[in-house]
Chains A and B, each alone.
Chain A
Amino acid sequence: MRPYRRMKRPKSIIPEVRLPDPVPEAGDLLDKALEVKEKQLRETFANCSDVVFRHIVCPDAVGQGIRMLITYVDGLVDTKHLDEAVLQVLMRQPLPPAPAVTAAWVQEILADRAVPAAQVGVVTTYDEVVAFVLKGSVTMCVDGDEAALTLSVVGWKQRGIEEPPSEPVIRGPREGFVESLRTNTAMVRRRIRSPKLKMQTFTIGEFTKTDVVLAYVDGIAEPSVVEEARRRIQRIDIDAVLESAFLEEFIEDSPKSPFPQVQSTERPDVVSANLLEGRFAIFTDGTPFALVAPVVFWGALNANEDYYERTFMSSFLRILRITFMLVSLLLPSVYVAMATFQQEMIPTTLLMSISAARESTPFPAVIEALFMEIVFEALREAGVRMPKQIGQAMSIVGALVIGQAAVEAGIISAPMVIVVSFTGIASFTFPRYNFGIAIRLLRFPMLILSGIFGIYGIAIGIVILVIHLVSLRSFGVPYFTPVGPMHFQDFRDVFIRVPRWAMRYRGGMTAKQNTIRIPAGQQPGPQQDKE
């Protein structure tokens, strides 16, 4: 391959001529003269209509005035605040006499006159100025000095904090993350008021320069796991990060798996609980979804509300969810296997009604099941993507045409419709959407296997699925923990949820160094008189 390519494309014999670059290189210092600075900046931001350049002249003691250039991106800056708090302070009163007009001196004056601009800094290189402008700061270049001043008067519009629509709760905190990174980290910091909660910032994306924060609790999280996460984040070389999923696909262990190995959540309480379990979280600017890892298979069947409701109810719901996961994965295939191969398993009376219904339908059970499942998936997808007004019309078409008319016309048997709709209901019980997709997808190979091999095919399908699941890892933690490898200690929080005072240990695989969560002997009881 390689020699061939080399033959096809010979190296250019024309020596590369370096064109004079009007835009300074990274790391170049600013020029002293304001005109040069302005020219450079204007060239960089050529055709950027949203970048504002503004000249101001501040009166000083001598009377000739100090010229300054203010640059910012319109819309990212609170202009009202800029005018009131900074410009008026500088321009209304004459500036005191100075030995030399420098940015640092201006900074001092701003500090003296108690300018309430949040953060004022001094930068010296050209690309720093550009970076600060793009981040939403105001930069102020002073004539005659190499340094420039940056003022953080950030004021862009952001969505208010709302209840996350993807993870609603009946009992529990109602706030969800928003698109702003710092608001999100603050929500978590407000819950974990400990200096042990560490947050490390990375900037990823050649064009987007997105801020990404890796959060973990020092002393609980496994240092090797955090180090591995850091390494994987630093390794990412990408043009843009628009959603946390962009990162997720770079840091997961097995890309060739339908199962999500990183959890995404919109809820600060979920992130906080996971951090305290020894996991780490990744916040991405511009999206309300934070990533949490390492996660295990069974965690996907736990909802955060399990921890807020009474333990019996939570345990019941968990067992229900696991059952319905199996139903949503297997019910159509079990139906096909029993109707095609193992009819003896169906109780006689039920068999009568099923076979009576199937008598008039032309298709074999497996074709019928595949057809109905695909139609159901299509209906669901259409329902999600359609505008709400049309969605209603579509659901009527779906329910009437597919459901009723197909059965009455004798094309589809009624039991099949029941099976498919029951499977559909079962697939809505997953607390996590992306996990449910994996199960929905795996239903089809299962269906084909059972159509060919009956119950034996289902058994082998489950075996292959489990082989796949146990060979997965999420940041070094086996995905099928605590079932395979077995950790008896962790069973308190998998199929059932024991009361909080009995959950004495943190997850055995994620927090190895600081395992005890709750000291023993706190089981409550009626008041007992002590003699």
Chain B
Amino acid sequence: MSSIQRISRWQFVMLLLPIVIATEILPVTDLSAKFAHQRTWLAMIPATLTGIWSIWVMTELARRHPGQSIIQYAMDILGKWGGRAFGVIIILQTFIYTTKVAAEMMTFISMFALPRTPKPMILGLFLFACGVAVWAGIEVIARCAETFIPITITFFLFVFICLLPNMRPAYVRPVLGPDWFETVIQAAIVPSAWYGEFLLMGFLLPFLETSKNVRRMSYYLLTFIGVFVVMIALQSTMVAGPLIEKLTYSYYITARYISLGDFFERIDPLIISIWMYGLVVKEAVCLFVFATCVTQLTGLSDHRLIVMPVTILTMIGCLWMFPNLAELRSFLTYTFPIEGMVVQNILPTFLLAVDMLRRGLDRSPAHA
């Protein structure tokens, strides 16, 4: 196997798609609904702003430093120690990603599918699968993504179509009303953190075969994700109505309304299976980035040396930080948006600003 692995642009898109879609659909819709009620779908539109911001910053940085990951050019821009400090923050952020995704999976499975199975077993199996993929490298993760993500998207569209008879558009009203703007912005804060996860682009872009049109492609991707998430929010709202704010995992619960030909009355456990594909891809990407971070910061030669420690660390961190659903939801609602805004958006922007400033300073004496 060659040491330099490359991914195509289609694979790049397929790797980024589950970053938002896989984890946002299930836990986030009902968290936003707590604030925006029937306007949840509206809240998903301003949430993409952080995505636009993040994509712009990451592609601009990648354009200025082609072939380098964010850790590598941070060392160039901020100097050795500044860059290392920055790298440590990014490592902690990727650690949050891996534990968060694993915790979302674990709480969901132990709530709906396997209530009596010990959580470490569920988590261990999941992380084993992800660890195997990370061990094989980014090419294998990308090919898995190509295989699984189209299936996932098709299935979610299938669920949407099957739910059409159960939707009552009246539940969306009133669209505007008293305090509509405040509630929508408030509700947009939670999902906005997910769009900030485009930070991961900083690690995937160096693997891309050609960096042509990456920014435009990423914006198309963002638009697709935005439309998709709005569709999911509308689906949950129109099926569950005012109940949506009381449900946990409203998407999963609304899927129970599906009835196929009066024979299959419950296809919701299939969601577990299909959703798992997206989650595995996302967790594998996050774990890969985590491992790459550590390798690049410590100057090791191969990310494979790190895969096992990183996976075990994720398992411990997940069991320690998010032992139950309440802890996870409180983290997702109150901590993650703020912390994510700082690390995912403001810090890279600061990096870009320093880079611009330094280049500007370097250039001006030359012109004088």
The chain A residues found within 8 Å of chain B, CB to CB, are 341-342, 344-345, 347-348, 452-460, 462-464, 466-467, 470-471, 478, 480, 483-486
Contact = CB atoms under 8 A, between A and B. Distances in A.
Q: Taking each of A341, A342, A453, A456, which has the highest tally of chain B beta carbons within 10 Å of its own beta carbon?
A: A456
B269 A347 contact: no
B146 A456 contact: no
Contact of A453 (B8, B114, B133): B114
A485 B273 CA distance: 23
Contacts of B270: 345, 455
Most buried by B among A347, A454, A460: A460
A396 B103 CA distance: 53
Contacts of B147: 466, 470, 480, 483-484
B117 A453 contact: yes
Contact of B126 (A455, A460, A485): A460
A467 B136 contact: yes
Contacts of B146: 483-486
Interface residues on B, range: 35 or more
B45 interface: no
B126 A345 contact: no
Contact of A485 (B8, B109, B117, B122): B8
Interface string B123-150: 0011011001100100010111111100
Given A455-B273, A467-B136, A485 B266 contact: no
Nearest to B277: A463
B11 interface: yes
B267 A484 contact: no
A347 B126 contact: no
Contacts of A344: 266, 269
A449 to B, nearest CB: 8
Contact of A464 (B132, B143, B263, B267): B132
22 contacts: A342-B113, A454-B114, A456-B114, A456-B273, A459-B274, A459-B277, A462-B273, A462-B277, A463-B129, A463-B276, A464-B128, A464-B129, A464-B132, A467-B129, A467-B133, A470-B147, A484-B142, A484-B144, A485-B8, A485-B11, A485-B146, A486-B8
Given A470-B144, A470-B147, A480-B147, 18 more contacts: A345-B266, A453-B114, A455-B269, A456-B109, A456-B125, A456-B272, A459-B274, A460-B129, A460-B280, A463-B277, A466-B144, A466-B148, A467-B140, A471-B136, A478-B143, A480-B143, A483-B147, A485-B8
B201 to A, nearest CB: 20
Contacts, number: 96
B265 interface: yes
B10 interface: yes
A341 B109 CA distance: 12
Contacts of A342: 113, 269
A492 to B, nearest CB: 17
B81 interface: no
B158 interface: no
A347 B114 contact: no
Q: What secondary structure prevails in chain A residues at the interface with B?
A: helix
Closest 3 CB pairs of A and B: A484-B143, A470-B143, A459-B276
A463 B280 contact: yes
A344 B148 CA distance: 25
Interface string B247-287: 00000000000000001111101101110110010000000
A348 B143 contact: no
Residue of B122, B143, B269, B280 contacting most chain A CB atoms (<10 Å): B143
A344 B252 CA distance: 14
A344 B140 CA distance: 35
A316 B274 CA distance: 25
Given A463-B277, A470-B143, A484-B147, A457 B269 contact: no
A347 B128 CA distance: 33
A453 B144 CA distance: 22
Nearest to A470: B143
Given A467-B144, A470-B143, A454 B113 contact: yes
Given A455-B272, A459-B273, A467-B136, A348 B144 contact: no
B122 A453 contact: yes
A452 B118 CA distance: 11
A456 B144 CA distance: 18
Contacts of B117: 452-453
A81 to B, nearest CB: 55
Given A459-B272, A480-B147, A467 B113 contact: no
Given A341-B114, A455-B273, A467-B129, A348 B265 contact: yes
B143 A485 contact: yes
B107 to A, nearest CB: 13
B265 A460 contact: no
A459 B11 CA distance: 22
Contacts of B267: 345
Contacts of B113: 341-342, 454-456
Nearest to A480: B143
Contact of A460 (B8, B142, B276): B276
A385 to B, nearest CB: 36
A342 B271 CA distance: 12
B259 to A, nearest CB: 10
Contacts of A341: 113-114
B103 to A, nearest CB: 15
B122 A470 contact: no
A202 B207 CA distance: 41
B277 to A, nearest CB: 7
A466 B148 CA distance: 9
Given A341-B113, A463-B280, A484-B146, A458 B265 contact: no
B143 A347 contact: no
A348 B140 CA distance: 41
Interface in B148-165: 148
A459 B275 CA distance: 9
> Which of A342, A463, A478 gathers most chain B CB within 10 Å?
A463
B235 to A, nearest CB: 21
Nearest to B117: A453
Contact of A463 (B8, B121, B144, B265): B144
Nearest to A478: B143
Nearest to B273: A459
Nearest to B265: A347
B307 to A, nearest CB: 13
B240 to A, nearest CB: 19
A345 B269 contact: yes
A341 B263 CA distance: 19
A471 B122 CA distance: 25
